[in-house]
Chains A and B, each alone.
Chain A
C-alpha cells in the first residue's frame, strides 16, 4: 500500500487528509453541482423531467441555456417566502427550547461523578438506537385524540374532552425538540465538561456567589458549545420534512414540505432544486459570517 502511494507521489499525511476532502467532493460538492445545474433548467415531460443546459446548436456551437426563471418564481410567489420564514421561525423556536432544556441537562451530566457520567451520556444517545421514523410515529400514538396523553389527562380528571394536539404546531415543536435534543446536549456537554473548575473557585474567592460565577464564568466560556449545539439543531430543523408532515397541520407551511411537493407531486425538478439552493444560501451565508465573526472575537489559537 505504502509503495503504491509512493509511486503516485502521495505521502501518508496527504493521503489521510485527502479522505475527508474526497468524501465531501463525492457526496456533497458533486450532488450540489447537479442540483445547481437542475435549478437553472426548465421542466420537460421527459426522462429526466428537465431540459439539458448544454446542447449543440448547429455545427461546433455549444449553447448554454440558463433559466433564471425558477429563482425569479421563488421571489414572486409569496408561498415560498412564507414557507422560508415559517421554517426559520419554527426552527428558531425549537432551537431555543432545546437550549433551555438541554443546557441544564448537559450541565448536570458534566458535573456528575465520572462513573455515572458515561451512563448518563449513553442514555442521551440511546434513542438513536431506534429508527427516527419509528420514534416520530410513537409520538402520534401519544398525542392523538385517544392517545396516551389525552387518556391520561382524562383519567386524572384534568380535562373531560380530549385536546386536539396532533396536527398542531405544538406537536411539531414537540417532535423537533424531542428528536434534536441530543444534538444540543452533546456539544454542550463536551464544552462544559472541559471547564476548569478552579476558575469557579477563583470567582468564588473574589466574592462571586455560585449564580454570579455561573453567569460571569461558566456561561461565557460555554458560548462555543451553545453555538455548536444551536447550529446542529437549527440547520436540520429548518429543512425538516418528516416531523411536520407526520405530526403537523397539513396546511402548515414548511420549506421542507414545499420542496417535497414540488419534487414529487408537481414533478417540477428545476423549481424544487431552486428551492433547495435558496435554502442552502439562506443558511450557509449567515452561518459562515457568524463563524468568522466568532473566530475574530476569540482570536486564532485561543483555546485557553
Chain B
C-alpha cells in the first residue's frame, strides 16, 4: 500500500478506464413476449464492484433484463457474458449469480437459518462450514437473534434482510436486486440503503439493482442506466444523469425540471441564444449546441438553479416576469409555483437559510426569475 498512497483516494470509475474489462457484458439483447418487445437491443457493460441501477417506470423492461441476467428468461436475441463466459443459455441454477426478489421469496416453511443455509446445502458443503457461514451472514445483517424464527414471525424489514443474507451467503460475484427496498417504509428504506452500500463495500460484490425510485437510484448507484420502452436511454453517474441529461425524457424523469420549448436564434460554437414563446427575453447558454438550424430545442432548468428577486435583473437575457401562484413550505426549503404571462407555471425551490424573515415572497406577488448562463441544459429530443 505504501508505494501507492493515492490508491485509496482514487475515484472508483472503471468505466472511464479503457483497459478495464467489464464484468458483465450485455450485447444487443432483445426479449419479445409475442409481439410485445420488452427489451429492445440493449447493450451494457458493468464493471466489478459497481452498484449499477436500472431505473425506469414500471413496464420499461428493467425487470425483464434482470431476469435474463438471472437466467429466468432467455433473450430472443443477443448475448450475455458474465466474467467473460457466455451465460445466454445457462440455467439459473448453474449461474454464479444470485438474486434478491422483490417479494423476497423467503421460504415460508423454513426457519431463518434454514432459509440462509438453503443455497449452501445445495452445494453439498460440510455441516460445520454451513453453520459457520450462516452464522456470519446473520450477524452481518443483524439477524443472529432470529435464526430459529419462521418468516411469518418477522417484520417486513427483517424478511428483507433474510432474503439479502440468503442471496449473499453463497458469495456470488454478482448480486441482482429487484426493487430491494420497495416494500419498506420511508425511514427504514433510507436506513437500509446505506446498509446495502456498506455490505456491498465489505464483501466487494457487484450489484445490479432494479428500481423505479429515482432517489434510491441516486443514493445507491455508481452508475444509472435509465430505461424507457425497453431501451436504455442514458447511462451515467447520478450527477451526470441529473446535470447533463441527454433528452427531455431523462431531464423530466430524474428530479423535477422546467423545460422551455424554443428555437435557436443565435448558434455560435461557444454560445447559443434560444427564443421561447413563453419568455419575453431569450435564453442565453454559454456553450455550443449541436442541432440542425431552425429545429426545435428544449432548455431544461432545474428548480434550484433559478433565482427570485423583486427587482428587474439588469441582464438582457435569462430572466422572466411571474406571479407567485403557490408556495409549499417543506421545512428545509420552499417550493414556489410561479405563473408566467403566457400561463406556463415554473417551479422554483429556495433553501430556507434564515429561520424567519418578514421579507418572504407571498401569494400573488410579482417577481422576477433569473438564472446563470451555465444552468440551462439544452436537449434536442
Instruction: Give chain A interface residues in 175-213, CB to chain B under 8 Å.
Output: 196, 198-199, 201-209, 212
Instruction: Give chain B interface residues in 127-141, CB to chain A under 8 Å.
Output: none
Contacting pair B108 A206 (CB below 8 A): no
Report chain B residues within 8 Å CB of A208. Answer: 93, 122
Distance from B94 Cβ to chain A, minimum over Cβ atoms (Å):
8
| Assembled-state Cα–Cα distance A216/B93 (Å) | 15
Give the number of A-B contacts (CB < 8 Å).
67
Contacting pair B105 A220 (CB below 8 A): no
Contacting pair A302 B152 (CB below 8 A): yes
A114: Cβ under 8 A from any B Cβ: no
A3: Cβ under 8 A from any B Cβ: no
Report chain A residues within 8 Å CB of B70. Answer: 201, 205
| Assembled-state Cα–Cα distance A303/B71 (Å) | 29
Report chain A residues within 8 Å CB of B107. Answer: 199, 202-203, 217
A301: Cβ under 8 A from any B Cβ: yes
| Assembled-state Cα–Cα distance A196/B109 (Å) | 13
**Which residue of A209, A299, A301 is within 8 Å of B93 (Cβ)?**
A209
Counting contact residues on chain A (CB < 8 A from B), the size range is 20 to 34
Instruction: Give chain B interface residues in 249-264, CB to chain A under 8 Å.
Output: none
Contacting pair B152 A204 (CB below 8 A): no
A304: Cβ under 8 A from any B Cβ: yes
A221: Cβ under 8 A from any B Cβ: yes
| Assembled-state Cα–Cα distance A299/B151 (Å) | 11
| Assembled-state Cα–Cα distance A198/B107 (Å) | 10
Please name the residue on chain A nearest to B151 by beta carbon.
A304
Report chain A residues within 8 Å CB of B108. Answer: 199, 221, 302, 304
User: Interface residues of B, CB < 8 Å — how many?
Assistant: 26
Please name the residue on chain B nearest to A201 by beta carbon.
B72
B99: Cβ under 8 A from any A Cβ: yes
Contacting pair B119 A206 (CB below 8 A): yes
Distance from B115 Cβ to chain A, minimum over Cβ atoms (Å):
9
Please name the residue on chain B nearest to A300 by beta carbon.
B152
Report chain B residues within 8 Å CB of A217. Answer: 107
Contacting pair A299 B105 (CB below 8 A): no
**Which residue of A205, A209, A301 is within 8 Å of B98 (Cβ)?**
A205
B77: Cβ under 8 A from any A Cβ: no
B101: Cβ under 8 A from any A Cβ: yes
| Assembled-state Cα–Cα distance A205/B178 (Å) | 13
**Which residue of B92, B103, B109 is within 8 Å of A198 (Cβ)?**
B103
| Assembled-state Cα–Cα distance A201/B66 (Å) | 13
Contacting pair B93 A207 (CB below 8 A): yes
Contacting pair B93 A205 (CB below 8 A): yes
| Assembled-state Cα–Cα distance A221/B72 (Å) | 22
Report chain B residues within 8 Å CB of A304. Answer: 108, 151-152
B170: Cβ under 8 A from any A Cβ: yes
Report chain B residues within 8 Å CB of A196. Answer: 103, 105
| Assembled-state Cα–Cα distance A205/B91 (Å) | 9
Distance from B217 Cβ to chain A, minimum over Cβ atoms (Å):
23
Report chain A residues within 8 Å CB of B119. Answer: 206-207
Distance from A227 Cβ to chain B, minimum over Cβ atoms (Å):
14
Distance from A218 Cβ to chain B, minimum over Cβ atoms (Å):
11
- What are some 5 contacts across the A-B interface (CB < 8 A)? A201-B99, A204-B71, A205-B93, A212-B122, A299-B153
Given A204-B92, A206-B167, 9 more pairs with CB closer than 8 A: A198-B101, A198-B103, A199-B105, A199-B108, A204-B91, A206-B119, A207-B122, A299-B150, A301-B152
Across chains A and B, which 7 residue pairs bring their CB atoms closest together, nearest first?
Answer: A206-B119, A207-B122, A202-B105, A198-B105, A204-B92, A204-B93, A205-B99
B residues near A, CB below 8 A? 70-72, 91-93, 97-99, 101, 103, 105, 107-109, 118-119, 122-123, 150-153, 166-167, 170
